[in-house]
Amino acid sequence: MSEGVSIRILDREFAIGCKPEERDALQAAAQLLDARMRGIRGDNRMAAFDRIAIIAALNLAAEVNSFRREFEGRDGELSRGIADLNRKVEALLATQPVR
């Protein structure tokens, strides 16, 4: 069931529907977005809200993509390490007499 959550971004209030268990995550995301947008806006109070939002969204998307590439690289390294350990265990077991 969805409930309305009020969030503030750049002094604008938005009502967003979300599940109760997602409320904290939504509020944390709104705080992150607000901080990023305030950083982009800086002292320029006349900057268009939409433009600031697009720049913030692009910056956040670039970070997500960077983290995703890093995760995929580490996931590949982990998979190779596990496969190497499996080969070593199988080789060790193959040299042991059957009981």
E strands within the chain?
Answer: 3-9, 12-18
The reported pLDDT for the residue numbered 1 is: 74
Sole residue written with tokens 């590949």: 76
Domains with residue ranges and CATH for the chain: 3-95 (3.30.160.880)
The reported pLDDT for the residue numbered 22 is: 95
**Across the strands, what pairs with 14?**
7
Per-residue pLDDT tens digits for 41-53: 988 888 899 999 9
Which residues lie below 8 Å from residue 51, measured CB to CB, with a gap of 6+? none
Mean local confidence (pLDDT), 20-49? 93
Which residues lie below 8 Å from residue 3, measured CB to CB, with a gap of 6+? 17, 18, 19, 20, 23
pTM as predicted? 0.69
- DSSP 3-state assignment of 13? strand
